[in-house]
């Protein structure tokens, strides 16, 4: 028994960390948001490909992490003890919690691609090509960042580009991804437009430097042992730094995006010494500290779990203002339907692709901006209003004059013009009642949206100025 433990000590630690994350950490707001997708299965969703929702649809809310946990535990069980030790040694890997997230599926699918690609490279037959194509499709259905792995393998194994079975694998992956791509085309490529333009704010060199510095701190072994890495590994690091660095410079990049570096770690030549093992044990202990609620509160991590939302209890129709994660967390906690109303310029979500469930009904709108009455001791305020979904309003521009059917506008709504520069709101102009034609003043060098609002509450209508 002692020998088994000594030969699998890192595997055991990985099991402990994953089980601790699954059962000692509350469900995050992101996990609640993705679970809300699973209540309405689709070929695609606003933020990410659909595989995360498809997997969650097989379980109830109490077990939403279970499919992901089993998948990651199987990966650890099948992995090599030496490689698992490398994972635990590197601080950045500990951002991988194995939760019900697209990142979990992307990482596992990426390793499946690497394994199937090596099998194909060693024996370029039809069967291995088919398996490779299926794995590439699984990666595509997980998260867009997986394209960096495909690009890196193309760079690293460019000499295999004339193998016809490689194109068979690509064709199979494309065919399997066709339903998702068709959905994107039907939705005017909404996810691509969001990731390439809709999420960016103002440019900042300081944000870029901060992102790179934090990334270097978490993934320093990749810098120290960069030279011996295979070509595809170097290509992955460089392409990720360029892409995510561009995102950080433009005001939108997440540190956990760098989890794609996990794909390189098995190829990393780390010294197997008592010192490195002790460092791995220390990092494991530090990781386990986040299971303690007081530590999470001290590190300001509890905002990811939205415990304040779980304290809201109401028998009425509840919606949230500019807070899609709050709406999803409320749905998960109560089992009741909710919705997130969004102002123009605020980050959109899957709720923007769904019809407003309480059209023409009275709702209680919870918000964090001080609108209405304070809900107990905060941070929420609430306001009661009868709201309508006007996202389907038919309109057309004739020159700078907006044409629409005024009879479709309920009483109490006003035309509002929002003006943004680099994603930052500059002005909010109340123009006229909703049944009148708004007099719009265009401002060069800005992004402007017309909308209808009732006492500052959105209607779902966003009209970009021509």
Residue whose C-alpha is closest to residue 19's, from 69, 71, 76, 92: 69
User: What pLDDT is attached to residue 201?
Assistant: 64
- pLDDT tens, position by position, 17-29: 999 999 999 999 9
Domain boundaries of the chain, sorted by first residue: 2-298, 307-387, 395-464
- Which of these, 263, 103, 233, 113, lies nearest to 173 by C-alpha position? 113
441 and 370 in contact (C-beta within 8 Å)? no
The residues of the chain scoring below 50 in pLDDT are none
Q: Is residue 237 within 8 Å of residue 258, measured between CB atoms? A: no
User: What pLDDT sits at residue 300?
Assistant: 84
C-alpha pair distances (Å), 416 with each of 360, 432, 451, 456, 458: 20, 8, 5, 9, 10
| pLDDT score at 251 | 80
CA distance 363 to 457: 11
Q: Which helix (H) or strand (E) holds 395?
A: strand 395-398
Angle formed at CA 339 by CA 334 and CA 344, multiple of 5 degrees? 150
* CA distances to 4, 107, 233 from 260, in Å: 31, 7, 11
Strand 373-374's sheet: what is its strand order? 340-341, 318-321, 361-367, 381-387, 373-374
> Which pTM does this prediction carry?
0.93
Residue indicated by tokens 């709504």: 413
Q: What is the pLDDT of residue 423?
A: 72
What is the per-residue pLDDT for 1?
66
* Token output for 243: 């892409």
């Amino acid at each position: 028994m002692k020998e088994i433990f000594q030969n699998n000590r890192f595997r055991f630690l990985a099991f402990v960390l994953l089980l601790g994350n699954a059962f000692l950490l509350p469900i995050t707001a992101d996990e609640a948001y993705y679970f809300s997708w699973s209540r309405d299965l689709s070929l695609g969703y606003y933020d990410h490909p659909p595989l995360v929702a498809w997997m969650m649809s097989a379980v109830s809310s109490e077990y939403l992490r279970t499919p992901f946990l089993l998948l990651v535990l199987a990966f650890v069980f099948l992995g090599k003890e030496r490689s698992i030790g490398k994972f635990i040694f590197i601080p950045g890997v500990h951002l991988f919690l194995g939760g019900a997230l697209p990142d979990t599926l992307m990482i596992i699918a990426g390793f499946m691609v690497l394994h199937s690609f090596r099998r194909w490279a060693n024996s370029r037959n039809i069967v291995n090509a088919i398996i490779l194509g299926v794995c590439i499709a699984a990666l595509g259905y997980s998260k867009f960042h997986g394209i960096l792995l495909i690009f890196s393998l193309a760079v690293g194994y460019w000499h295999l580009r004339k193998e016809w079975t490689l194109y068979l694998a690509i064709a199979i992956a494309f065919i399997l991804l066709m339903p998702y791509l068709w959905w994107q085309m039907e939705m005017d490529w909404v996810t691509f437009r969001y990731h390439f333009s809709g999420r960016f704010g103002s440019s900042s060199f300081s944000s870029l430097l901060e992102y790179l510095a934090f990334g270097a701190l978490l993934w320093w072994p990749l810098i120290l042992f960069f030279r011996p890495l295979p070509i595809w590994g170097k290509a992955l690091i460089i392409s990720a730094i360029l892409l995510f660095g561009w995102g950080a410079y433009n005001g939108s990049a997440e540190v956990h995006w760098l989890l794609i570096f996990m794909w390189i770690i098995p190829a990393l030549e780390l010294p197997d010494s008592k010192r490195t093992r002790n460092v791995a044990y220390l990092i494991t202990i530090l990781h386990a500290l986040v299971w303690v609620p007081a530590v999470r509160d001290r590190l300001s991590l509890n905002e990811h779990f939205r415990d304040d939302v779980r304290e809201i209890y109401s028998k009425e129709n509840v919606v949230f203002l500019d807070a899609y994660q709050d709406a999803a967390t409320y749905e998960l906690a109560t089992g009741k339907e909710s919705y997130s109303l969004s102002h123009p310029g605020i980050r959109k979500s899957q709720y923007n692709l769904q019809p407003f469930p309480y059209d023409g009904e009275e709702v209680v709108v919870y918000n964090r901006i001080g609108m209405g009455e304070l809900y107990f001791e905060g941070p929420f305020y609430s306001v009661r209003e009868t709201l309508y979904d006007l996202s389907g309003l038919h309109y057309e521009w004739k020159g700078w004059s907006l044409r629409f059917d005024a009879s479709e506008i309920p009483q109490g709504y006003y035309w509002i013009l929002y003006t943004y520069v680099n994603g930052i709101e500059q002005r909010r102009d109340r123009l006229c009642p909703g049944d009148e034609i708004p007099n719009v003043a265009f401002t060069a060098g800005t992004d402007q949206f017309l909308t209808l609002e009732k006492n500052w509450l959105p209607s779902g209508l966003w009209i970009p100025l021509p």
